[in-house]
Amino acid sequence: MNKIELRISSRVENIVQVEQFIETFETTFGLTPEVFGKISLSVIEAVNNAILFGNRQAADKYVTVSAWKEELQFFVSVADEGEGFDYSVIPDPTLPDNVVKVAGRGLYLMKILSDDLVFENGGAKVTLVFNLCEV
Domain tally, the chain: 1
Containing H/E element for 106? Answer: helix 105-113
Provide the pLDDT confidence category of residue 4 given band limits of 50, 70 and 90: very high
- Structural domain of 31: 3-131
Residue 24's nearest CA partner among 9, 42, 3, 10 is 3
pLDDT in tens, 13-39: 999 999 999 999 999 999 988 899 999
pTM of the full structure: 0.90
CA pair distance 62, 4, nearest whole angstrom: 16
Q: Residue 43 maps to which CATH number? A: 3.30.565.10
